[in-house]
Each structure stands twice: as C-alpha cells, then as structure tokens.
Structure 1
Amino acid sequence: MSFIWKPDLYLEKLYAETEVIRKRNGSDSQDQEQLRNKLKTALGSFEALDGTQPALDPVLLESTDLGDVIRERVEYSSADGLRVPAYVLIPKHGNGPFPAVLAWHGHGYGSREVVGLLPDGSEDTGALGIHRHFALELCRRGMIVIAPEIVGFGDRKLTWDTEQNPDTPNSCFPIAAALLLAGKTIAGLRGYEAIRSADYLTTRTDVDASRIGCMGLSGGGMVASLSAALDQRIQAAVICGYSNTYKRSILSRRHCLDNYIPGILLHAEMPELIGLIAPRALFIESGISDPLFPIDATEVTIERVSGIYASMGVQERFTSDLFEGRHEISGRRSFDWLAERLSAGGRAISS
C-alpha cells in the first residue's frame, strides 16, 4: 500500500501552510485586541439574537459545614435555556470579602472530583486522583472557590446520551457536533459559561470582585486559558496539563472534539492564545511525563509565552513549574502562588 494514499503528508503540508499564513499576516506581532477579537469570532457567540443574556437568577441548593470550609451548591443561568450547577467553597476563618477562584475540572466525573466528592456525592476519603481535590486546597489558603459543572460532564450530560449508555463518560462529542452545525463551538460555550460564572462571583457580597483568579487541569486548563484570555477581570491564572502547541498535542493524537476551534491556526498557535492573558499573572504547570501534552512542546510554549511577557516588561508576572509526574495537578508551587497573587493571606490547613 502506498504511503501517499494516506492523508498524513497532506495534513503536514496543510499545517505548514497555516504557518506561512500566520507569518505573512504578522501574527507574532499583531495587536492583542485584534487577536482576541479573532478568537471570539472563531469560538462563536452565545448571546441571544438580540444581544442580551438572561439574568443569573442564582439559587442556593444546599450548604454543608466541613469544619474548616463551608461547601455550598448553587445554580445560575448562563445562556438562554442553560442553568449551571456549581459548588462554592467558602473559608470559615478569616475576614471577607475574600479573593475568589474559578476551578475548572478536566475529563472525569465532573465538579465533584475537585471538591472532594465521589460521583454519587459522598465524601471522597480515598487516595487523591489527578485533580488532587484542588478546589479544597485553594479554599484552605483563604480563597472562595467556585467549581462549576462544565457542560457535557457529570450532571450536565445529554439526556438521550445517558439513556442510550448510562455509563457514557461525557457528552462532549454530540454537544460539540451540534454546536459546530450551528456555527458555534463547545470551547466557546465553555468559555462563555466561565465568564458568566465570574459574573455570578461578582454578585456575592463575600467576594472581592477585584481579586478573581482561575485554575484548571487539561480540558479545564483550556477553559481557564480561554476565559482568562477573554475576561480581563481574571487577575491570575494557573493552567495545568494543557499548555502546549496544537501541532504536538491536539493534532498528534485522538483528542476530545472540545479542543478544536475552527480556523484558529490561521491566526495563532496555542502559545500566542495563552499569551493573551498577559500582562496579568500566569502560572503554567505540567508533568514532565504527561503523555497527552508532550513536555518538549510545553517547554517551547513556556519560552514563547515568556517572550510575550518580557516584551511587555512584566516578566515577573509569568512563572512555570515542570514537575515529576504525568497528566495531573501538582500544586507544589501553584497553590501558594495563586494565593499570593490574589493576596489571600491564607495558609494551607492540610496538604
């Protein structure tokens, strides 16, 4: 069988063509706001046709005292017809209003995974998984942490999808496919809901709206990076197990359809999109043995993002940590870094 029958070479040439186009259009030196607008267009719009969005209409569903932390479950509106369930962790000690963090889970069983719960909602007292209950860790450092259920996971899987297969891990593919047919993307919807979640945080009297950060792993890292790039209320971001290049990660293996943004490579590679967070504070964390996001490309991304910060004269606002590990959160430096950047003044109760 001839190798040329396979599309490998064609796709390699296609990627090379996007590099030529980006260079020709001066993507490396283009204005941040110009690139941000191109990203918004590629992601799709999620406001109503008249340009409005529904009232948040938040509802408190439950509240649990964990001793050092109050865990609430709330819901609020994002787009018309969409309600978002989320856990909110509140420090019991210290004086508010507190800084706040948006915590974004990766692929798994959803928001319960980052707040110390099992899929059935019971307390998780076993070994820590790849998410390390990081929302709890951040709350114990003096921050209010909201962990929304990302659309397509946990309680937000499609009804028909779960009816056909109760064990389906997520509904990413059918949601993404439906959105693509309507000229939208699931990455855009998740980024939009992240912004609406920040809107909700600003309505809380116990939150200092001038001190909002975000942190996410893997697909949650994508949500963290996109939302921080688009929403300048986010003052500090931690991206775990995601920062790479499209060429070496998303295009080098089968990835979830939620990673693909139509036409984005005509305007920027992933490092330049992450660079839209500058000049605000950014921490990139990645395991050196991560099989999904190869460390060599992560190092390239760190170098390119570092260059963006240096060009703005704010090199000290960017840092990174490459740790001994795989596709997981470490937190060995990032937890305290985020608390310091948001001036939480807290100290971890447990680690």
Structure 2
Amino acid sequence: MPDRRARVLARYRSLGSGELFAAAVFAFLAWFVVAPWLSSRESLALVSALVPLIVVLVQAGVYWLLARAWVGRGSMPTSLARLFGALRIFTAVLLAIGLVGVIVWWPERGLVAALILGVWAFGVVEYVNYFVVQLARPISAGTSAANWLRTPRLVRDMRAAGDDTARTRPPGARALDARSLLGLDAPETYRGDVVGTSQLPSVGPLSFTRIELATADGIVPFLVVRRDDLTPRSPVIAVHQHANEFALGKSEPAGLAGDASVAYGRRLADVGHTVILPDLIGFEDRRRQTSDDAEAERIDAAERTARGDSLQAKHTRDVAAVTSWVAGQPEMTGPIGIMGHSLGGQVAFFSLAFDERLERGVISCGAGTLASFDRDGVPHNPAWFVPGLRESGDTPALAASIIGRRVLVSAGRHDPLFPLDGVHAVVAAFPTGVAEAVEFDGGHELPEPVMRRAIGLFAE
C-alpha cells in the first residue's frame, strides 16, 4: 500500500508541476518572443486568447499538487470542491469573453490570426479535459467511446467530496477512491488480445463461445452466452461465486454445472442479454496446480499483499480487461452491467467502485463491512482484506464513491457470512438514487424473487 501510494504521489507531482511549467512557458513565449512582433490590436487579441489558457493550466497544476494530500486516504475537502466548482463556471465565462476579445481585435495577418485562435482553442481543450470529458488518454486505452469518454479525475474528486452531489450523498458519507486504494491505473488501460476462440455446444436457443483473453496479467478465459433469436439486449458481465468449489467458475452462472439457483448468467441470456462470464483466478480453467485450493488461495493473497498488490486488485484488473473487450465489440450496445453472487457480488461491488464504464450492477449477498466480519468472526475469502480499506472508511466509503449508476443490493436476514448491520451500513452510504436494497427471509442464497428483480434492473 505505501509503495502504490508513493507511485501515485509521484505521478500527481509530475502532472502538477508539468501544468504549472506549461503555463509559465506560454506566458514567457507570449510576452518576450511573440508580443514584440505584434501590433497593439494583435497583442490585445493574444491576451484575450492566452489568459483563459493560463488560468486553466494553473488551476490544473494546483489541483494535482493539492490532490496529493488526500489521494488514497480520503476525499477532496468540501470547501475546495466548491471552490473548483466556482472556478469551473468562472473559467467557462472567461473563455467566452476571450473569444469575444479575439473577434473584436481580430488580427489582420492570417498567420497571426490562426496562431491566436489556436491558443484560444487549446484553452478550450484543456478546460474540457479537466471539467467535462477526459481527453488525455494513454494509447493503450484504445479508440472506443466507452474507453475514451471518461469523467475527469478533478470532476470525480469534486463529486466524491459532495460538490455536484451534495444534495444526494447521505450526511457524513465519506467517499474512497477505489483506484488509489487498489493501486490500479485507469480501468480502460486493462485490456488484452483474443488468443483463443472455440464454439461450445448450444443449449436450446443459447449459443456458448469460449474466449481466451491474453492480458499483461495472464490469460483470462470467459464464456459469451447469447440468444440469437431475440433482439439483443445490453451486455452483462456475470461473475461466479466462491463456495469453496474451485472446480466451478464461469460454468455455474452459465447454467452448465453446479447450483441452478445461481445460474443468473443463463437467466439473463434467456431474455436476450449478451452475457460474459469470466473465471476468476483460482477457479475452473484458472485453478491453481495444487492439492489444497483454499490454502493456495490464502498464500496467493498473502504474497500479493507482500509485494504491494492484493487479490481483490487482481480480480478487479481481470474484470476491467473483460470490460474493455466488451466495450470494443460493436455488436454489444447499451449500458454495460455486472452481476455476481457471494464472491461474484463482492467483485461486482469493487468493480463498480473502480470502473465507471459499468453502469448497472447487482450485488447478491456480497456487500458487508470488514468491521462486522471482524466483530462476528466471519471467515471470509482472502480477497476481501485489501490493505488500507478499513482505515480508509471501510466498504461504506467505496459505496459512497459509486455515483450516477443503478445498483441492486440483496441480502438474507439470516446470512451467516454478511451480518445485516454491515449490509445496512453499505447501503446507507450509497448516494441517494443509486442503490436499491432487497432483504429476504433467508441465508446466503439467491431466491427467485431477487433473481427476477435483478433481471428487471438490467432491462430498465
């Protein structure tokens, strides 16, 4: 955890100092290099174009440097979020005034006019990049709209602090940045190349395709289940449970093996959704070569923690890579959803907090707090125990960061693995209008009424 945060701090320092340096360079070049060659009229046009650009760059530089104080530890102070909210409006007005100035003092020389208009346009691009849509993306992010049209980090920090959503966030709710917590890069940077495709036997009207995705972190196998005789609905990633059944992974929610009551992937495909079902590390086609799967899972989790990683971060990276693959399929349209039961619900929870491309989610018996697990001595799977999570606000802080999505959280009143007060704490932390909670008289299960409601959520 400290090593990951140190890397983030270094990157933020580089970004902040880079933006401030760029502002200084623009000002120097304009004043000492360009201005002596301009007429008074052209100089006024240049000032009109340049001032908004410098203002945006300075704001950006100050933001990155200030963000080092809260990244990985909490959220932006509310007062600072409100300040940047006001600056967002002020800068938009300043850009408009700058354009008027450029037009009023329009240069007579064409080359000078093009240069000045370019300076003003660059200010607009920087404004959009920080306050509207993040335009500066790594090459590895690909070209699909789902990968590129991402909310800027500054705006996400403002929202997490309550600036844009203060009226919808529960009083006192604290938001935690999952990306910093897990030590991950932007979700869309996790992707892979298809290195294997095979067609499995159809089951009734459903077709089953097995795909292997080669990522920088290993091979991720998954099934794609679709019903070709219906108009396709939105894609849903279905993540399997744990249940200490390491021989079962994607096949169980696909309805090909295991407990039919958790064949939610099959049920979603039955109504027309394209369903993508990955194996998590350690399960089914990714089973570890060992005689004791549970012990191997614990050792894997411990080794990852020792080198500054975590098993939950591994699960989240793999789901992000699958999400990137889904986002790049032109035939898969509509909001991308995710559903899981037990471990699958846990992974869906963290993935929703990490990846804004996932717009809808169902967390079935997979939301609780580390505090409640510890208090009641619940022996959970080791991926739950992410370094720094509990001291950063526990899982309610993750829930508070999930903004603008639709999430269904189901829980059994007698579930021995998820104490109900912990579930309530998570549900209460979601911003208003995001989460729908369904409680039922039962244990660690997915009853039929909850299954029907989950399917209905993705159809809305």
Q: Return the TM-score normalized by structure 2.
A: 0.58
Deviation by residue 1:252-298 (Cα, 9 ceiling, x = unmatched): 32222211111122222212212322221010011111000012332
Q: Secondary structure of the equivalent of 1:183?
A: coil
Shift in CA distance, 88/138, structure 1 to aligned 2, threshold 3 Å:
same
On the 8 A contact 2:75/2:176 being kept in 1, the answer is no
Distance 1:72 1:293 in 2: 34
Shift in CA distance, 33/197, structure 1 to aligned 2, threshold 3 Å:
farther
Shift in CA distance, 157/44, structure 1 to aligned 2, threshold 3 Å:
farther
Which position in structure 2 is the counterpart of 1:4?
Answer: none
The amino acid across from 1:278 in the alignment is: I
On the 8 A contact 1:60/1:72 being kept in 2, the answer is yes
On the 8 A contact 2:239/2:347 being kept in 1, the answer is yes
Aligned-residue offset at 1:173: 1.3
Distance 1:335 1:28 in 2: 41
Q: Which is worse superposed, 265-274 or 136-145?
A: 265-274
Unaligned runs of 5+ in 1: 1-23, 119-123, 310-314, 344-351
Aligned-residue offset at 1:146: 0.8
On the 8 A contact 2:208/2:226 being kept in 1, the answer is yes
On the 8 A contact 1:84/1:149 being kept in 2, the answer is yes
Which position in structure 1 is the counterpart of 2:370?
Answer: 246
Q: Which is worse superposed, 98-107 or 270-279?
A: 270-279
Matched, 1:223 2:347: yes
Matched, 1:211 2:347: no
On the 8 A contact 1:138/1:335 being kept in 2, the answer is no
RMSD: 3.0
Deviation by residue 1:72-93 (Cα, 9 ceiling, x = unmatched): 111112324x011111110132
Deviation by residue 1:230-267 (Cα, 9 ceiling, x = unmatched): 11111111001121221112563222221111112222
Matched, 1:142 2:272: yes
On the 8 A contact 2:75/2:175 being kept in 1, the answer is no
Unaligned runs of 5+ in 2: 1-72, 79-156, 162-173
Q: How many residues align?
A: 293
On the 8 A contact 1:211/1:234 being kept in 2, the answer is yes
Distance 2:376 2:183 in 1: 25
Larger Rg: 2
Shift in CA distance, 256/68, structure 1 to aligned 2, threshold 3 Å:
same
Deviation by residue 1:285-317 (Cα, 9 ceiling, x = unmatched): 111110000123323332333xx22xxxxx2x4
Matched, 1:100 2:197: no
Q: Secondary structure of the equivalent of 2:262?
A: coil
- What are the equivalent positions in structure 2 for 1:174-193 lying under 5 Å apart? 174-193=299-318
Shift in CA distance, 45/337, structure 1 to aligned 2, threshold 3 Å:
closer
Deviation by residue 1:154-186 (Cα, 9 ceiling, x = unmatched): 221222xx2xx1x63574212212211221011
Distance 2:276 2:200 in 1: 14
Deviation by residue 1:69-128 (Cα, 9 ceiling, x = unmatched): 111111112324x011111110132224x311111112132111211223xxxxx6xxx4
Q: Secondary structure of the equivalent of 2:280?
A: coil
The amino acid across from 1:86 in the alignment is: F
On the 8 A contact 1:243/1:301 being kept in 2, the answer is yes
Matched, 1:84 2:220: yes
Q: Equivalent pairs: percent with the same residue?
A: 23
Shift in CA distance, 239/173, structure 1 to aligned 2, threshold 3 Å:
same
Q: Return the TM-score normalized by structure 1.
A: 0.74
Q: Secondary structure of the equivalent of 2:428?
A: helix
Aligned-residue offset at 1:25: 6.6
Shift in CA distance, 271/36, structure 1 to aligned 2, threshold 3 Å:
closer
Shift in CA distance, 157/229, structure 1 to aligned 2, threshold 3 Å:
same
